[in-house]
Structure 1
Amino acid sequence: MNKNSFKKSAMVLTLTSALGTSMAASAAVELYNAEGTSFSVDGYFNAFYVNREDAVLDTRDTRIKMGFLPNTIGFNFRKEMGDLVLGGRSSFWTSINDSLDSPTDTAIDVRQFYATVDGAFGQVLIGKDFGLFARSNIFLDEILMGFGSPGAAGGVSFGNIRAGYPYPTPSAQITYRSPDLSGFKIAVGALDPADTVTGAGDENSAPRIESEITYTVDLDGVVLTGWLNGRYQSSSNGNTTIDSSGVGYGVKGSVAGFSIAASGFDSKANSPVLVVNEALTEDRADGYLIQASYAFGPNKIVLSHGKTDAEILNLKTESNTFGFFHDVNSNFKLVAEYNMYEDKNRTSGVLSTDTDTIAMGAIVIF
């Protein structure tokens, strides 16, 4: 994949990157609840003062930007129907950094628009949602509400995407989730496949298959969470066949305010950034993320180190972040962060990005 392909991925990522894992469950405002039917709304608003020094371009730039999570509003539905519970979620994600390019205009994208059917058997989800490959890698990232590594000029930052894990791109899917099985949860989904070959006669004879197994246990106050996720699909065009596969994994342990997490991924014929329709080779990519945090009172300190080595992009990246989070109250959070990020050509070793970023932000959640 050449640099233009990476730039294409970066531009797509500004429209569909980062995510809010549990906004609907953690901070929703209930608007209606009667006779087994409920409706709630949740929102996430943030802005960061960002000062960045770029050693490659020899520039220092100041911006007011979104963080790793864009601003969003979500709507949640639930209705009890005998032994089944029908649900649904639609969420709308917006940039606050596009008005200078298109005055008074705001880019809005829909990352979740799905229905769920819950019962004793577990849950079936139909619609658009985040993927399963690398899902817990990013959902359990300690700087999810921070800033992280640089992004494109008009969108969100990239957090640790392409410097520790790829993005679980929201996709059309039919996904089954098991009930809790003594701490284990299993998810398997058929997702809309990506076109990884180009030209007339492109063929995807089967959907993209993704899955994830998670396990959580509390051992006398030590909470451990482990996960294993994966992806497989095959695309062809005449004599050309591209078999894409990937595995993600990780473990996180927490006790008495301390938390340590380690995760990683290994993939073939997958972009280490995100899923898009583009011609790929069967080159590999891998990466890892190591984090430690300590929470005391309303405060949390985070140290984060991530790397990705991608043959498929001829790219090596490294991101190091120190973050401080302060909860003013349950709906208002302040963040201060320092990030050092670099990427380079893995063949020549030439740096294409070398930045130090200071980000200070405020987050309002409801």
Structure 2
Amino acid sequence: MNNNNFRKSGIALALATMAGFSAGSHAAVEVYNQDGTVFSVDGYFNAFYVNRDDKLADTRDSRIKMGFLPNTIGFNFSKEMGDLTLGGRSSFWTTINDSLDTPTDTAIDVRQFYATVDGSFGQVLIGKDFGLYARSNIFLDEILMGFGSPGLPGGVSFGNIRAGYPYPTPSAQITYRSPDMGGLKIAAGVLDPADTVSGTAADENAAPRFESELTYSANLNQVALTGWVNGRYQSAENGATTVDSTGLGYGVKASVAGLTLAASGFTSSGDNPVLIGNGAVTEDDADGFLVQASYAFAANRVVLSYGETDAEILDLETESTTVGFFHDVNSNFKLVAEYNMYEDRNRTNGNTTTEADTIALGAIVTF
């Protein structure tokens, strides 16, 4: 049975690559498996007690919120058809942060809804999934299952988005992934382009958005190494105005005997370095980096993370420092404690616009 499409799904891949959290510990629950057809369900549930000290406003606020990853339920399908394996995934992501803002109107969004065709040639994905640009930057973040920096009042926290990497916005796409070639994997896709001139449908996009990612994994003398490079390009115009958008992401991670060291970064032009989407932008630059160290011992993992983004395009400079502790009660139940210090400044005048320290204590249940 070829179940590669399950392992390549967005949330499953993200969780499986976390240090100390194996792919087997987040295996989907198999509902049906007969005659080459498999159907399974997976879930991710979390809540955090969050206490934030806003130093500019001189206020302290306590909330019950979800972490960087929203609560999610996913449905997976796979069917063998001769030399091909047809698959699909739909995942539904929901917030718990709107409990008093809109008491009975919980927001749900669909970040993954795609089909896959697997064969000896690799895989073709059609539908909606996370982008390739900055994909490994975020999925291999050591605090992916934590809280990170402050986000929007009614949404998730931002983790290290805008303080080390941009968000690989889920988009309609047609993407090809190569087979594993001795640890080397290549992905390339065409994605629905963003309207970056006026931010409206009046923009002309003569070509789609192009994104790609190259990853390489190896084990050298008991050292597990992973490296990646990803990028994007698109051009939009409206009348006499054209905006060319480019982005390059990269990173490396090394693990040995419980110790993991990771470094990643990005540089872009004509891209919003927080959330790629429709919206008028300039061709100004942005760049950022993230460095992390973690140590796993027994059922525990300690993480130190530091990231920065310098965005000329947003007239913004950010930095975020996180210390996290993760404890596996068992393979499906995790406890998290985090302390985050986040600051952003106006790039032109140097004035601090946000300065906040956050304590987050959370619990995560998966199946």
Q: Counterpart of 1:125?
A: 125
Deviations along 1:327-355, whole A, 9 cap, x unmatched? 00000000000000000101111111000
RMSD: 1.3
Q: Counterpart of 2:40?
A: 40
- Taking structure 1 as the reference length, the TM-score comes to 0.94
Q: Cα offset for 1:22? A: 4.3
Q: Is the 8 A contact 1:224 1:252 kept in 2?
A: yes
Deviations along 1:29-87, whole A, 9 cap, x unmatched? 00000000000000000000000001111110000000000000000000000000000
Q: Cα offset for 1:100? A: 1.1
Q: Counterpart of 2:270?
A: 269
**What does residue range 120-269 of structure 1 map to in structure 2 within 5 Å?**
120-198=120-198, 201-269=202-270
Whole-angstrom CA distance in 2 between matches of 1:231 and 1:101: 37
Q: Counterpart of 1:7?
A: none
**What does residue range 1-366 of structure 1 map to in structure 2 within 5 Å?**
21-22=13-14, 26-198=26-198, 201-366=202-367
Whole-angstrom CA distance in 1 between matches of 2:355 and 2:27: 37
Paired residue type of 2:102 = S
Indicate how the Cα distance of structure 1 residues 23 and 317 shifts in structure 2: closer, same or farther if over 3 A, else same: closer
Whole-angstrom CA distance in 1 between matches of 2:183 and 2:33: 30
Paired residue type of 1:159 = G
Whole-angstrom CA distance in 2 between matches of 1:158 and 1:363: 17
Whole-angstrom CA distance in 2 between matches of 1:75 and 1:124: 19
Indicate how the Cα distance of structure 1 residues 23 and 289 shifts in structure 2: closer, same or farther if over 3 A, else same: closer
Whole-angstrom CA distance in 2 between matches of 1:271 and 1:19: 24
Unmatched 5+ residue regions in structure 2?
A: 1-9, 17-22
Whole-angstrom CA distance in 1 between matches of 2:150 and 2:15: 24
Q: Counterpart of 1:5?
A: none
Whole-angstrom CA distance in 2 between matches of 1:141 and 1:365: 19
Runs of 4+ in 1 over 6 A off after TM superposition: none
Indicate how the Cα distance of structure 1 residues 354 and 175 shifts in structure 2: closer, same or farther if over 3 A, else same: same
Percent sequence identity over aligned pairs: 76
Indicate how the Cα distance of structure 1 residues 143 and 23 shifts in structure 2: closer, same or farther if over 3 A, else same: closer
Whole-angstrom CA distance in 2 between matches of 1:200 and 1:20: 34
Q: Cα offset for 1:310? A: 0.1
User: Could you say what secondary structure the match of 2:233 adopts?
Assistant: strand
Deviations along 1:206-232, whole A, 9 cap, x unmatched? 000000000000012100000000000
Q: Cα offset for 1:201? A: 4.3
Whole-angstrom CA distance in 2 between matches of 1:76 and 1:19: 12
Q: Counterpart of 1:8?
A: none
Q: Is the 8 A contact 2:195 2:201 kept in 1?
A: no
Paired residue type of 1:123 = Q
Q: Is the 8 A contact 1:89 1:112 kept in 2?
A: yes
Deviations along 1:186-223, whole A, 9 cap, x unmatched? 00000000000116842000000000000000012100
Whole-angstrom CA distance in 1 between matches of 2:14 and 2:148: 20
Q: Counterpart of 1:10?
A: none
Q: Is the 8 A contact 1:212 1:230 kept in 2?
A: yes
Deviations along 1:143-180, whole A, 9 cap, x unmatched? 00000000111111000000000000000000000000
Q: Cα offset for 1:20? A: 5.8
Indicate how the Cα distance of structure 1 residues 85 and 170 shifts in structure 2: closer, same or farther if over 3 A, else same: same
User: Could you say what secondary structure the match of 1:246 adopts?
Assistant: strand
Indicate how the Cα distance of structure 1 residues 107 and 79 shifts in structure 2: closer, same or farther if over 3 A, else same: same
User: Could you say what secondary structure the match of 1:347 adopts?
Assistant: coil
Q: Is the 8 A contact 2:307 2:319 kept in 1?
A: yes
What is the number of residues matched between the two proteins?
349
Q: Is the 8 A contact 1:19 1:70 kept in 2?
A: no
Q: Cα offset for 1:21? A: 3.5
Q: Cα offset for 1:97? A: 1.3
Paired residue type of 1:352 = T
Whole-angstrom CA distance in 1 between matches of 2:202 and 2:105: 38
Q: Cα offset for 1:98? A: 1.1
Whole-angstrom CA distance in 2 between matches of 1:72 and 1:271: 26
Q: Is the 8 A contact 1:257 1:294 kept in 2?
A: yes
User: Could you say what secondary structure the match of 1:262 adopts?
Assistant: strand
Unmatched 5+ residue regions in structure 1?
A: 1-17
